[in-house]
Homo-oligomer: A and B are copies of this chain.
Amino acid sequence: MAVADFTPTYKESLFLPSQLSSLSSRLSNTRSHVLKPFLRPRNAKICCSVAPNQVQTPLAPQPTGTKGECYGVFCLTYDLKAAEETKSWKGLINIAVSGAAGMISNHLLFKLASGEVFGPDQPIALKLLGSERSFEALEGVAMELEDSLYPLLREVSIGIDPYDVFQDVEWAILIGAKPRGPGMERADLLDINGQIFAEQGKALNAVASSNVKVMVVGNPCNTNALICMKNAPKIPAKNFHALTRLDENRAKCQLALKAGVFYDKVSNMTIWGNHSTTQVPDFLNARISGLPAKDVIKDTKWLEKDFTDIVQNRGGVLIKKWGRSSAASTAVSIVDAIRSLVTPTPEGDWFSSGVYTNGNPYGIAEDIVFSMPCRSDGDGDYELVKDVLIDDFLHERIKKSEAELLAEKRCVGHLTGEGNAFCDLPGDTMLPGEQ
């Protein structure tokens, strides 16, 4: 395996111990402790280290005693079994959404409430996690949910402490993350957002349903998911997902466009690896109208180069056109990702999700979160697809993304309980247009 060039470099550390100590503080304090952006030449390597005594210990729940607050009409009590139109419904499930006052959530929450994700007989409780700064906006979101009169939406509560909000949740959709500011690169985000996901992992471990499914959307989502998972050892590692579904959807659309067919003809699309510019949209296994994509699209140069570039640059093009990032289609892809886990995968097809590598059949390094082809029986769980082709071209690209994820993992050792952290990431592999 091609391991990225990696030198432990205490002397080149860009972090002072005092900064790291502040980085280790709780989520609720993150706002006042955010490091200023590190300005450095583009493509410079980022090297940092953490002394052993600064390593965070996973599993230190800090329940506060305050409760996520129910909101307005959602504070009422009722008996679903007593009313004719609701008595055949399933039991209520609790769904937490972080970054609930943001634009992606503003699309997602209404989709969850409408029943299009979990079905028309599945009542839900939405538990909205925001920040102190966004609390009033959270109330606004709750008001709009009230005014939408969705019959399946039976409870809404809002809060800023994950130990309150995550209480008994069966699903946690973790969208909230610090956006990338000017001059910030992937390593900076890993540090800043890693704190958030370590904290939320601990909270999930302490108070969520023991079989909670966790969908990480906030970037860098693969490594955030790994950090979250490592801080929640009571929750099965298989339950953690990093969202690569928007990449998959975009890849399907581009193959369709190139082949001159409607997008419903494209299947078996895999995004391999990291949700970054090293991601690998897989045209080798993709099928168009049931045929291998390569048999339909003969333009090998386009497949090997342009296709991946277009998929990766889609967000950047979109932000230029639309003036903001793609909140609506991101929310659609979250819906798709969850639906893929709660409905059986169509015969012969699969979907992509960033999941924990633990005995995978592709020879990918273990103990990272890597996007791979999955199938589900619709029970919330998944299995990896075994019969996929991997040729030299695909193998090489998968290895590159694997190397990046291993490097990211080394950057966050202090957050995963694995000891020192050493960063030597390439300058910037954030997807264009992504914040």
Contacts and interface: CB of A to CB of B under 8 A. Distances in A.
A260 interface: yes
A323 B140 contact: yes
Contacts of A434: none
Interface string A309-326: 000001001101111001
Given A149-B263, A260-B76, A263-B149, A323 B143 contact: no
Contact of A147 (B72, B141, B151, B329): B329
A116 interface: yes
Interface stretch (A56-64, A175-183, A250-258): A250-258
A147 B260 contact: no
A139 interface: yes
Given A140-B323, A321-B137, A322-B140, A78 B261 contact: yes
Contacts of A198: none
Nearest to A137: B322
Contact of A253 (B73, B110, B332): B73
A279 interface: no
A146 interface: yes
A144 interface: yes
Most buried by B among A78, A110, A147: A147
A22 to B, nearest CB: 29
A151 to B, nearest CB: 5
A139 B154 CA distance: 37
Contact of A76 (B72, B76, B261): B261
A73 B147 contact: no
A76 B146 CA distance: 40
A143 B314 contact: yes
A115 to B, nearest CB: 9
B76 A149 contact: no
Nearest to A148: B332
Given A107-B107, A144-B326, A148-B249, 13 more contacts: A72-B257, A73-B263, A76-B261, A78-B261, A110-B328, A110-B331, A136-B320, A137-B323, A143-B314, A143-B321, A147-B253, A148-B333, A150-B332
29 contacts: A73-B262, A73-B263, A76-B257, A76-B261, A78-B262, A107-B328, A110-B328, A110-B331, A110-B332, A136-B320, A136-B321, A137-B321, A137-B322, A140-B323, A141-B322, A143-B322, A144-B322, A145-B329, A146-B253, A146-B263, A147-B253, A147-B329, A147-B332, A147-B333, A148-B329, A149-B252, A149-B264, A149-B336, A154-B262
